[in-house]
Amino acid sequence: MSDHSQAVAALRGQYSAIPTGAPVRLAKPTSNLFRFRADQPGGLDVARFDRVLSVDPAARTAEVQGMTTYERLVDATLPHGLMPLVVPQLKTITVGGAVAGLGIESSSFRNGLPHESVRELEVMTGDGEVVVVHPDDDLFRGFPNSYGTLGYALRLEIELEPVKPFVRLRHVPFGTAAECAEVIAAVCAERSYQGEPVDFIDGTVFSAHEQYLTLADWSDTAPHVSDYTGRDIYYRSIQARRTDYLTVRDYLWRWDTDWFWCSRAFGVQRPLVRRLVPKRYLRSDVYRKIVAWDRRRGFTAKLSKTVQESVMQDVEIPVSKLAEFMDFFHREIGIEPVWMCPLRLRDRKGWPLYPMDPEELYVNVGFWSIVDLAPGEEMGSRNRLIERTVAELGGHKSLYSDSYYEEEEFWANYNGPTYRDLKRRYDADSRLPDLYAKCVLRS
């Protein structure tokens, strides 16, 4: 903790040295955001904020710094037979990033979102002050979905839960989205399926007529264990197997090796290429760096014979509207596969900057690809269509990627009055960009 205090003091010194009016950003080696902006020099050095400070097995808590990746956190907690209540799918997502933004995984139907397991939060605000806040404090409640526009998470105390050595997976097929939604609602209510327990649930949509729910539960033993960190590809196993077993660590990172299915764009799902690529490069952060390089150079865009729009989004849809949304999505967008993950807020008070109904079961729908635009179709039109449809169905959209909202519409969706009040109190001089400027406006 003394090292942490020294790091905090040094960071405050860096912050105070930035001239008034100069842009403020974090200098960090990885990012899981897909709002690509022009490169900027400098930035706050947060390299000293990437450690797990302590794990308390008796209290089932961990003290972590804000730039700690979930990969490092899981490596620290699993030896104690514990894991975070929600572990987002990609190894280099940071704990502070999942709290300031949003995270989700297959335990979210029972554990909510990552910020709901935080007990204490240390923040350096836009005013340069360092404050420690708790669940009853306004900044604590408003920090999720603020994306670093109110301040930066420096230290967090989070809850942990016990694990077992293995996870059993059942891949259950469905012919329609309506059937799938009905079972999602029942499983999340009962935490079981056909009389057997369900500790984790997510889904994969390969087409309008082929979708699977993966229903998983803890297991002390396993008759066999699959390995999807090398030649075999996890998402393809969903179609080929009905039952599978993974170690707990491999289950948590089952999506990272191929960045869900997005690694196919880099050719590494071809057997010959995959044999030649070292396993250490089969990681989401490697693929994301390639995408960032391509976006800066415009290489893929120059080769394409059509005008293409990037559609990389996660949206939350009420389970009662899931089938309607999927019908729209297959008809108007046409990206496949698609990921589904149900969630229900654990905290009944809710979170003001991402106002979801705590009594409602939602399904996160994630889709990450490009679509061809028709001649004359405006760039952003497909994303804009998704935004309007999500709103019409009573859903919400995460802000980690491109957004196209008009300003008034944006603040109506993300609680402008509460945000502006927090901004006045914790960043009075607007040293940090506001949420609309950071998440929607393009530089």
Q: Is pLDDT of 443 > 50?
A: no
- Within 10 Å of residue 328's Cβ, how many Cβ atoms? 17
Q: What is the pTM of this model?
A: 0.94
Helix (H, G, I), strand (E, B) or coil at 428: coil
Predicted confidence (pLDDT) per residue in 139-192, tens digit = 999 999 999 999 999 999 999 999 999 999 999 999 999 999 999 999 999 999
H-state helical runs in 35-89? 70-77
Predicted confidence (pLDDT) per residue in 359-368, tens digit = 999 999 999 9
User: Mean pLDDT in the chain?
Assistant: 94
Report the C-alpha gap between 70 and 326 in whole angstroms. Answer: 31
Q: Is pLDDT of 4 > 50?
A: yes
Residue 213 in tokens: 């729910």
Out of 10-24, 227-241, 299-313, 412-426, least confident range:
299-313
Q: Number of C-alpha atoms within 13 angstroms, CB side, residue 239?
A: 12
**pLDDT of the residue at 41:** 56
**pLDDT of the residue at 38:** 59
The model's confidence at residue 297, banded by pLDDT at 50, 70 and 90, is: confident
Task: Give strand pairing partners of 370.
Answer: 310
Spatial CA neighbour of 90 closest among 264, 261, 253, 312: 253
Residue 167 in tokens: 């996870």
Predicted confidence (pLDDT) per residue in 52-78, tens digit = 999 999 999 999 999 999 999 999 999
Report the C-alpha gap between 106 and 115 in whole angstroms. Answer: 15
Spatial CA neighbour of 51 closest among 68, 74, 63: 68
**What domains lie within the chain, and their CATH numbers?**
2-163 (3.30.465.10), 166-255 (no CATH), 299-426 (3.30.70.2520)
**pLDDT of the residue at 30:** 73
Q: How many residues does the chain have?
A: 443
